[in-house]
């Protein structure tokens, strides 16, 4: 089981402040506490499956900051296709949860599946931990895992939304989730039980920032011809693989605790030109 949690969700979602930030943090804390175990029960347990699930739920919940539709639900009034046959059903059974459960019929169906009276207490569908279960149940019934295995963000979006609404944002969130999960997997591969075991985070292709620049400087000191651009691209990945191979580390191109430690422990390489200049000049023959 990949140990995803609230921090993984934070890496996917946009940041908010004030009341929106407080609401987001409450949802993330509640869902994060049961995230890994709940997803695992529904076999949403591979990098692609988890990434697509987080990408879609992040979009549907407006960045994990709400589990209830912003609109009143009045637009659903009288929608027989949703089972809204009684006056007030539109508002009563408005969209709630990480994937916006909507309509009396769906509340009844998913409540029965999870053993919860969602018709009598529809507001329960907005409770974060339960909304995660509802989303997972929807995922299972729509057989979305199979589409995730093909890494088909368009196909997953169609399953979730019925069309391609918000596809660009869903794709962005899914990509961020892939990167977050890859970092967790890298720590697991490096033999680090928890990401906090090292002050520096795992870096891999696609990472950017000052720490990437530090990595590039360390690799340059080992004689690798790299630009110092703070962008972990193909050239940096190749240099990391070569360094790891030379130190008998797993040559996966991912910079985790062992690779950081190996880089820090290596003496600075002396360039060939400097070595040549340091040699004493040969005596000229008489």
Question: Tell me, what DSSP letter sits at residue 76?
Answer: G
Out of 148-157, 177-186, 234-243, pick the least confident: 177-186
Answer for the pair 125, 107: CB distance below 8 angstroms, yes or no: yes
What does the alpha-carbon distance between residue 54 and residue 98 come to, in Å, rounded to a whole number?
10
Q: Quick one: average pLDDT of 44-61?
A: 97
Instruction: Dump pLDDT digits (tens) for 92-116.
Output: 999 999 999 999 999 999 999 999 9
Q: Quick one: average pLDDT of 50-61?
A: 97
Full set of structural domains in the chain with CATH: 6-189 (1.10.530.10), 196-265 (1.10.101.10)
More confident residue, 276 or 1: 1
Beta bridge pairs of residue 96:
68, 101
CB atoms within 10 A of CB 237: 18
Answer for the pair 232, 201: CB distance below 8 angstroms, yes or no: no
Which pLDDT value is given to residue 193? 40
Angle, helices 257-265/234-246, rounded to nearest 10 degrees: 70
Which pLDDT value is given to residue 187? 67
Band (pLDDT 50/70/90 cuts) for residue 182 is confident
Q: Quick one: average pLDDT of 233-245?
A: 94
Out of 69-83, 132-146, 151-165, 272-286, pick the least confident: 272-286
Average pLDDT of every residue of the chain: 88
Query: Residue 116: which of 140, 95, 132, 100 has the closest Cα?
Result: 132
Query: In this prediction, what percent of the chain has a pLDDT beyond 70?
Result: 88
Query: Residue 181: which of 32, 41, 51 has the closest Cα?
Result: 51
Cβ neighbours of residue 113 closer than 8 Å, sequence gap 6 or more = 137
Which pLDDT value is given to residue 189? 60
Select the highest-mean-pLDDT range: 137-141, 201-205, 213-217, 247-251: 137-141
Burial level of 227, CB count in 10 A (0-12/13-18/19+)?
exposed
Which pLDDT value is given to residue 139? 98
Q: Quick one: average pLDDT of 228-236?
A: 91
Band (pLDDT 50/70/90 cuts) for residue 268 is low
Band (pLDDT 50/70/90 cuts) for residue 283 is very low
Which pLDDT value is given to residue 90? 96
Place of tokens 């009034």: 77
Instruction: Dump pLDDT digits (tens) for 130-169.
Output: 999 999 999 999 999 999 999 999 999 999 999 999 999 9
Band (pLDDT 50/70/90 cuts) for residue 13 is very high
Q: Quick one: average pLDDT of 72-88?
A: 96
């Amino acid at each position: 089981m990949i140990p995803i949690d609230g921090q993984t969700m934070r890496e996917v979602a946009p940041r908010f402040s004030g009341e929106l930030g407080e609401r987001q943090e409450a949802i993330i804390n509640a869902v994060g506490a049961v995230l890994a175990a709940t997803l695992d029960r529904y076999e949403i347990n591979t990098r692609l499956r988890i990434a697509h699930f987080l990408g879609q739920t992040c979009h549907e919940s407006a960045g994990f900051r709400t589990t209830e539709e912003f609109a009143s639900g009045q637009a659903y009034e009288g929608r027989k296709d949703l089972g809204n046959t009684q006056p007030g059903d539109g508002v009563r059974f408005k969209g709630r949860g990480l994937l916006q459960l909507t309509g009396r019929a769906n509340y009844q169906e998913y409540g029965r599946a999870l053993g919860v009276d969602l018709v009598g207490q529809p507001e329960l569908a907005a409770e974060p931990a339960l909304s995660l279960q509802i989303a997972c149940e929807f995922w299972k019934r729509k057989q979305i895992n199979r589409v995730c295995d093909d890494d088909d963000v368009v196909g997953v979006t169609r399953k979730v939304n019925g069309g391609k609404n918000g596809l660009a944002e869903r794709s962005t969130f899914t990509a961020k989730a892939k990167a977050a999960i890859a970092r967790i997997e890298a720590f697991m591969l490096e033999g680090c039980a928890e990401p906090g075991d090292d002050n520096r985070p795992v870096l891999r292709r696609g990472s950017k920032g000052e720490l990437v620049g530090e990595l590039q400087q360390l690799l340059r000191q080992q004689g690798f011809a790299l630009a110092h651009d703070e962008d972990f691209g193909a050239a940096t990945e190749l240099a990391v693989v070569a360094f790891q191979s030379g130190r008998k580390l797993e040559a996966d191109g991912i910079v985790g605790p062992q690779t950081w430690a190996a880089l820090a422990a290596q003496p600075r390489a002396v360039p060939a030109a400097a070595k040549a200049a340091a040699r004493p000049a040969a005596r000229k023959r008489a």
